[in-house]
Amino acid sequence: MPLWTGSGERILIGASGTTLVELAGKTIGIIGLGRIGLQTARIASAFGMHILAYGNHHREMDLPNFQWCDLNELMMLSDVVSLHCPLTKETEGIINSKNLSMMKPTAIIINTSRGKLVNNKDLADALNTGKIGGAGLDVLAVEPPEDSNPLLHAKNCIITPHIAWATKEARTKLLDIAVENIKAFIDSNPKNVIQ
């Protein structure tokens, strides 16, 4: 099955000449273990992966092969780094040349969280020089991307147009939540209030 990257390169999944990767026994590093990060950890656990997590709120986890660690350790040991943290002053640019230089040359970055967590130039440089193996990005710092974004032409980089949330079921759920919020507000019982 062919996939097309932003640079126009075609990747054949499972074709001769490409390497498929077994997830069992690999290590996933999850940056940000909130609701979505935790679900990612559970899925990774079901595939038999070792799980490293970095975040501000450590809690006991009932997952096999799980451990909290610092960011440097996570970057050095992970085969896959998946971003699930909010964008804050502390996390902006958390994926940068320093952290990328610690990674395995076969490692993959996945960002479905916030585009500005990644320094675009640093990631593109790491991909183009073979410092890391690949990147899968559903979010970019500027959307739609500007033509000058170096990730659009980076090697082994797949970019989707911020559609991880766009299933029919997810959109239906979002609309249902909006309707419930309006009903609750009209009934003087507001829900999901942002202050």
What is the model's pLDDT at position 144? Answer: 86
pLDDT at 140 over 60: yes
What is the model's pLDDT at position 113? Answer: 93
For residues 72-87, average pLDDT: 97
Active site annotation includes 58:
no
For residues 62-87, average pLDDT: 95
**How does DSSP assign the chain, residue by residue?**
-EEE-TTS-EEETTSTT------TT-EEEEE--SHHHHHHHHHHHHTT-EEEEE-S-------TTEEE--HHHHHHH-SEEEE-----TTTTT-BSHHHHTTS-TT-EEEE-S-GGGB-HHHHHHHHHTTSSSEEEES--SSSSPPTT-GGGG-TTEEE--S-TT-SHHHHHHHHHHHHHHHHHHHTT---S---
CATH number at residue 151: 3.40.50.720
Q: What is the CA radius of gyration of the chain?
A: 18
Considering the domain architecture, whether residues 126 and 179 belong to the same structural domain is answered as: no
Catalytic position from the list 42, 58, 143, 180 = 143
Considering the domain architecture, whether residues 24 and 72 belong to the same structural domain is answered as: yes
Considering the domain architecture, whether residues 50 and 91 belong to the same structural domain is answered as: yes
Active site annotation includes 114:
yes
Query: pLDDT digits over 156-174, tens only?
Result: 999 988 776 678 888 888 8
Percentage of the chain modeled with pLDDT above 70: 89
Considering the domain architecture, whether residues 91 and 187 belong to the same structural domain is answered as: no
Considering the domain architecture, whether residues 134 and 95 belong to the same structural domain is answered as: yes
Considering the domain architecture, whether residues 155 and 82 belong to the same structural domain is answered as: yes
Considering the domain architecture, whether residues 148 and 60 belong to the same structural domain is answered as: yes
pLDDT at 58 over 60: yes
pLDDT at 42 over 50: yes
Considering the domain architecture, whether residues 140 and 158 belong to the same structural domain is answered as: yes
Considering the domain architecture, whether residues 57 and 94 belong to the same structural domain is answered as: yes
Higher per-residue pLDDT: 103 or 18: 103
191: containing domain: 165-195
Considering the domain architecture, whether residues 97 and 54 belong to the same structural domain is answered as: yes
In the chain, the number of structural domains is 2
Please, what is the average pLDDT of the chain? 87
Active site annotation includes 143:
yes
Percentage of the chain modeled with pLDDT above 90: 63
For residues 54-71, average pLDDT: 89
Highest mean pLDDT among 10-14, 17-21, 77-81, 179-183: 77-81
Give the model's confidence band at 193: pLDDT under 50 very low, under 70 low, under 90 confident, else very high.
Answer: confident
Considering the domain architecture, whether residues 97 and 79 belong to the same structural domain is answered as: yes
Considering the domain architecture, whether residues 52 and 93 belong to the same structural domain is answered as: yes
Higher per-residue pLDDT: 163 or 123: 123
For residues 133-159, average pLDDT: 92
